[in-house]
Chains A and B, each alone.
Chain A
Amino acid sequence: MSLSLEIVTPEGIAWKGENLTMVTLPASGGEVGIMEGHIPLITMLDEGAVLISKASGEEESIAIDRGYARCMGDVVSVLTEAAIDVSKLTDEDIAKAKEMAIKAADAASRTPSIDPDELDRLHALVRFTVAQELAKSKKKG
């Protein structure tokens, strides 16, 4: 039995893999590292990076938004609003996206007639770009 992970977003299954040695999750109470045989766990997640260490020695870093995770029987399921593999992004991409997201959220929060759901969505975008930065820096370090 080896550790496997799936990251599921409203757009579908964002990441799925088996034969992992460790998965690190950005839980709301601090980072949680999960290895084979972990006790069943349900946790809330903050925006941040999911670090995946594969048996082959490779590492991957996935940026995620807030959500929930469940570890049960060596299957880790991450449920989040958005997830992206940061290795496909450059620092400039992320910085640009963050600037745009912050600008949009700022403009929106100054509009009194804005739909609160729309504002939520914009804030989530900002959060998500911060998560991408985090994930990117983790990947380097």
Chain B
Amino acid sequence: MKGMREIRNRIKAVKSTGQITHAMELVAASKMKKAQMYAEQGRAYATLLMDLTKSVGSEIYRVVARNLELGQGKKRLVIVFSTDKGLCGGLNTNLFKAISEIKDDVDFITVGIRAARFIARTKRRVLANFRISDHVKFSETRKIADFAMKTAKEGGYASIEVLYSIFINTLKQEPTLVKIAPVDDMDWFIESLKKSYKLDVADHPKEDRRFVFEPSLTEIAQNLPSFYINQAIHYMALDAKASEHSARMVAMKSASDNADSLIQDLTLEYNKARQSAITTEILELSAAANTENSQ
């Protein structure tokens, strides 16, 4: 059995770690509440915007490709939303796994230092790294969107994609890769958003008549794509933040719980050690008394 002092020191250390993780849990919990609220509020809007952009139907591929001046070929531009700080459980690890699965000719724009480091370590190209505060301001996400659109245009990228941890609920966040431009492959994503968020937006019956555009397709084409990219990136950032704070809250909660149970075990061990020390002492005393008596 270990020495009593050693156990006592360990209990002290675990206790102070537990206090820290508990404090972090509380901080993350309050941030999480806000982040989740913002993410949930914006969902109907973001989904409908994607749906609307998608509705421009057969026109949209041409329209978005032309207005964002996307290139041909296979070069892809992927924006990755990770976190700046660690201690958020498996969130980043899962994200990195998803990054490793992207094999083609890809360049990355990262948000949050963790992904930038990982991608640099795996010897792939990071074009820029951005940071987003906990409040996720439009001025921050607009910079990312502007940079992505400019890069896609100048670098001849064929698509702009976003990899982020989609926020499903406090316990569940899933890394998801979505192509946001061109929008020819968005149906599954819109549907899955509607389903996993249980959005109350109206379903519309199938429509095979062609759309009429007011004031004109060109005018809408000039405004809608960049508006849509800006908004999509903003709402994905909100989701990523909600995921981050939720994951951190859960990680810190389980760390605090672990600390508590560790303290219990250690206290038990400590008490045993103390008990056995006392027993030994009594034994020694009585042995000494016995020898004295017999002499």
B42 — nearest CB in chain A belongs to which residue? A10
In the complex, per-residue mask of B177-216: 1 if CB is within 8 Å of any chain A CB, else 0? 0000000000000000000000011111111011111110
Of A11-19, A49-57, A86-94, the segment with at least 4 beta carbons within 8 Å of chain B is A11-19
A28 contacts B215, CB within 8 Å? yes
A41 — nearest CB in chain B belongs to which residue? B212
Chain A CB count within 10 A is highest, among B42, B138, B200, B211, for B211
In the complex, per-residue mask of B40-65: 1 if CB is within 8 Å of any chain A CB, else 0? 01101100110110011000000000
A136 CB, nearest partner CB in chain B, Å: 25
**How many residues of A are counted as interface, with CB atoms below 8 angstroms from the partner's CB atoms?**
31
Of A66-74, A98-106, A126-134, the segment with at least 4 beta carbons within 8 Å of chain B is A66-74
B201 contacts A77, CB within 8 Å? yes
B215 contacts A79, CB within 8 Å? no
Contacts known (A79-B48, A79-B49); A43 close to B139, Cβ less than 8 A: no
Q: How far is the CA of A6 from the CA of B223 in the complex (A)?
A: 22
Q: Is B287 an interface residue (CB 8 A)?
A: no
Q: Is A58 an interface residue (CB 8 A)?
A: no
A10 contacts B204, CB within 8 Å? no
A73 contacts B52, CB within 8 Å? no
Q: Is A107 an interface residue (CB 8 A)?
A: no
Please pick, from A10, A27, A73, the residue contacting B45 in the complex, using a CB distance under 8 A: A10
B4 CB, nearest partner CB in chain A, Å: 59
B219 contacts A44, CB within 8 Å? yes
Q: Is A95 an interface residue (CB 8 A)?
A: no
Contacts known (A8-B48, A9-B45, A68-B52); A42 close to B220, Cβ less than 8 A: yes
A40 contacts B209, CB within 8 Å? yes
Q: Is A75 an interface residue (CB 8 A)?
A: yes
A13 contacts B204, CB within 8 Å? no
Q: Is B142 an interface residue (CB 8 A)?
A: yes
Contacts known (A8-B48, A39-B212, A68-B52); A44 close to B220, Cβ less than 8 A: yes
Chain A CB count within 10 A is highest, among B45, B51, B224, for B45
Q: Which residues of B contact A115 (CB under 8 A)?
A: 139
B41 contacts A73, CB within 8 Å? no
A117 CB, nearest partner CB in chain B, Å: 4
Q: Is A4 an interface residue (CB 8 A)?
A: yes
B224 — nearest CB in chain A belongs to which residue? A68
Please pick, from B44, B52, B137, the residue contacting A42 in the complex, using a CB distance under 8 A: B52
Q: How far is the CA of A6 from the CA of B199 in the complex (A)?
A: 13
A135 CB, nearest partner CB in chain B, Å: 20
A77 contacts B45, CB within 8 Å? no
A-B pairs with beta carbons under 8 Å apart, 6 shown: A9-B45, A75-B204, A77-B51, A77-B202, A79-B52, A118-B139
